[in-house]
Each structure stands twice: as C-alpha cells, then as structure tokens.
Structure 1
Amino acid sequence: MSKQVDHIKKKQEKDDWHTLIRQMSPGLDDQVVERLCHYVTRLEAWNRVHNLTGLDSAHDIVTQLVMPSIALQSTLSKYACVLDLGTGAGIPGV
C-alpha cells in the first residue's frame, strides 16, 4: 500500500512541476516539459547521494534552478552567442 501511495504522490508532484513549467513558459512543447520533469526527478535522487545543488526538494529544484533557466530562455534566444559558464548539476550559469 505504501508503494502505491508513494507512486501517487510522485505523480502529483510531477503534475505540479508540469503545470508550473507550463505557466512559466507556455511555448515549450510537451517533450521538453517531460524531459525537464525527468531531469528534476533524477537530480533530486542524485542530489541525495552527492549533494549536487544543496537543495532538499524537487519543488526547490524546480523553483530555484529550472524556472530561472526557463525565464532566461526568452531573453537569451535573441542573441547569436551566449556563454554558459556552468554552475554544476547541468544548470546554466551565464
């Protein structure tokens, strides 16, 4: 029973991330949103092992790392060249 509850909880969290990402950047196609959700899930799991970001929850990863990166997309897309210095864990650092 607990495994089923965990599965339902994870699905609800993913739906919440999907909605949040969609609201922030409605131009993203479904495949990109799914990949971002998968990235968040994997980063959260590996973050527990290696402390890649210092963030404790998937919600924090979405709101503090993914969403700012998405917000930059519309601004940066008008430039021909952008330098990504990297901040670790695959998050852009400009």
Structure 2
Amino acid sequence: MTKGAIVKFRISDVDKVRLEHFADEAGKSVSAIIRCAINETMRGRVAGQQRREGIAKLRRSTNLMLEAFAGKPIDVPRLKEVAAQVRKDAARVLT
C-alpha cells in the first residue's frame, strides 16, 4: 500500500497508550486500526455493535435453554436443538 495523506487529531495521553496497546495486541499498526474504524463507521456500523448483537443473541438462546429445562417432562430433542444454538451463538461471541 502506498502512503497517503496524513491526518492529525488530538487524544489524551491515556487514550493514546490504550490505542497503541490495542494495536499491538491485534498485531496491527495504529494507522491500520484507525483506518478500519473509519471504514466501519462510514458503513454505518457502530463500534462494538456486532459484538453486542452477538451477546444479545446468545442471551436469547440461553433463555430458550432455561425454558426447555423448565418443561416437565423435559423435551430432550428440543433441548438438544437449543443447546446446539447456544453453542453456535457462544462461538460467535468468543471468537
């Protein structure tokens, strides 16, 4: 990638350290992290929105599992179906 224009902006020293640490943990440059954030924002995606949606979906499937356990007698095929969905939703959130 060729170098482009430079944009300067101000952030607190604490936020700068946090950003540098985050970029380091992600194995990316600070510039790459900021470019990604800009692209996501311009697409209308709020930071963390996908994760929040994943967590909400996991919460709903977990509630379905609790409902399946509450039934007497327990509907084992339904419970297996719901457990598979919980596993799928959890994998999305945890990866």
TM value normalised by structure 2: 0.31
Structure of higher CA gyration radius = 2
Q: Which has the larger helix fraction?
A: 2
